Amino acid sequence: MLQNKNILLGVSGGIAVYKACALTSKLTQAGANVKVMMTENATKFVSPLTFQALSRNPVYTDTFDEKDVRKIAHIDVADWADIVIIAPATANIIGKLANGIADDMLSTTLLATQASVYIAPAMNVHMYAHPAVMQNMQRLEKWGYHFIEPGSGYLACGYVGKGRLEEPESIIETVKTHQDKNKILAGKKVLISAGPTREQIDPVRFFTNHSSGKMGFALAEAAADLGAEVTLVAGPTDMELVNKQIKRINITTAEEMYHAMHHNFLTSDIVIKAAAVADYRPKQVYEEKMKKQDGVWKIEMERTKDILQSLGEAKTGQFLVGFAAETENALEYGMKKLQKKRLDAVVINDVSTAGAGFGGDTNIATYLNKHMEKEEIALSSKRDMADKIMMLIDRDMKDESK
């Protein structure tokens, strides 16, 4: 998968720069065309001449050193790259990228490139765990950047812990694996629902829930990255899509979501209902704002349509996945939903568990398919979980077709 790929290797300043030399060599041996771009601090650890010899290409270090007067170097390289790898990625370069700072050639090029970017952090264990660094990495991950987690062990600073740059072989294997799976859903149409619904009481009040839409949006991005044609039916949320190829249908009420999902259902191959839809709505909707009164205000509620069950009843070959957000007996209730609603799989999570609630950036879940095969997904970012869920769906679909 790396044969003839144009790979830009961004090298920032840290003791782990020496590993980037081996990475350059191995990428070149794998048949990739490698160009190296170094920060000024990186050149204090290893000479640019070393990377030039290993890559057989000029090394970029200065934004204003234009090697070809007919081109603007950092834009030319940004457009040239199929893949960008930042290794080692220091807290500094991660912070710059997360905050749109472009004050040297590497940071400027990173803002200009449209290529897939893989970030391999390397730093002191306490720096890696600092809230600012963690927040910057979470922001970049939401934007679609891929992280290659550092290993644990003895660090140059003398500490033992997480922060050691992953080995060059592992970095290459991670990139290859991601590139290999990149289009496994090509030709598939994926329909996903996300976020809450709102059920109006009067012009200024409504019933809703705590869903942010983050899980559904992460699933949509993951499916699109795997080559699928994605339609996202989204309830009221502040979330924005990174991939502008995803078709987004905005709705407000459970009734609107019901119609949007059914309208797109028959032409879909994979349908994932991740939205938190209201089970009840006010039976009477007031046209004017209800004024404060003495005593109790009683609102009579009526059932909304069960979207997931209706999709299960209408299945004609779609792979249908539901979500079960529970606060007790999560596995038991999730299994009942799987069977009752004719699902092919259900993603079960206990939202009362730390790290798995509504609105957060992380989740913990159990993926259970109709054959009662269970996969535990440990605490991870919602984007990482989305990638794992899409891979499990692809696996189960392939098993069904055998």
As given in the structure block, the two tokens for residue 303 are 């059932």
21 is catalytic: no
Q: How far apart are CA 79 and CA 96, in angstroms?
A: 20
- Preceding peptide of 88 cis, ω within 30°: yes
Q: Within the chain, what is the greatest distance between any pair of CA atoms? A: 83
Question: Residue 217 contacts by C-beta under 8 Å, 6 or more apart in sequence?
Answer: 194, 232, 234, 237, 239, 241
44 near 17, Cβ under 8 Å? no
Strands (DSSP E) contained in 82-204 are 83-89, 116-121, 146-147, 151-154, 160-164, 189-194, 199-202
Q: Is 323 annotated as a binding residue?
A: yes
Q: Which member of 30, 101, 157, 301 is catalytic?
A: 157
In degrees, rounded to 5, the angle at the alpha carbon of residue 313 between the alpha carbons of residues 310 and 317 is 120
Q: Is 341 annotated as a binding residue?
A: yes
The residues facing 326 across adjacent strands are 350
Q: Is 279 annotated as a binding residue?
A: yes
Q: How far apart are CA 190 and CA 390, in angstroms?
A: 10
Q: How far apart are CA 30 and CA 308, in angstroms?
A: 47
Question: Residue 240 contacts by C-beta under 8 Å, 6 or more apart in sequence?
Answer: none
Residues in the chain: 402
Q: How far apart are CA 368 and CA 215, in angstroms?
A: 17
Of 327, 375, 316, 380, nearest to 350 by C-alpha is 327
DSSP state of 350: E
226 near 383, Cβ under 8 Å? no
Q: How far apart are CA 1 and CA 27, in angstroms?
A: 11
Q: How far apart are CA 184 and CA 1, in angstroms?
A: 14
DSSP state of 185: T
Q: Is 289 annotated as a binding residue?
A: yes
Of 90, 142, 261, nearest to 192 by C-alpha is 261
User: Which residues make up each annotated binding site for CTP?
Assistant: 279, 289, 323, 337, 341
Q: Hey, which residues are catalytic here?
A: 157
User: Which residues make up each annotated binding site?
Assistant: 279, 289, 323, 337, 341
